[in-house]
Amino acid sequence: MCYNISGINNKVNNMALIKKTEYARKQGVSRSYVSKLIKQGKIALCDGLIDEDKMTARTDLKRQLLEAKINNEIFKGQILKAKIDAILKEYVL
């Protein structure tokens, strides 16, 4: 729930609130895609606006998770390559 206490410059309880169009532009996606995410419950609205700070924090966490998954897959690949190299050395010698 969102309560407008200050009512100044789209700030509600120290939240940076922006329109869907502006959020879509900043994220490099269409406004309709943002609307779809809102309908799916992935983006919450506060008086029809998006809390940019909250969504940025969520995006940063998702990015960190994806980077960890990518690094894990790279590591698995390196281990597999080392195993293959070890097997090939046996046959080459």
pLDDT tens digit sequence for 32-59: 988 988 898 888 888 899 988 888 777 7
* More confidently predicted of 8 and 53: 53
**CA distances to 17, 40, 52 from 64, in Å:** 24, 23, 18
Confidence band (pLDDT; 50, 70, 90) for 72?
Answer: very high
Q: Looking at residue 41, what is its pLDDT?
A: 85
Quick one: residue 76, left, alpha or beta (phi over 0 = left, psi -120 to 50 = alpha)? alpha
Q: Looking at residue 9, what is its pLDDT?
A: 47
Q: Looking at residue 7, what is its pLDDT?
A: 46
Average pLDDT value for residue range 58-70 = 83
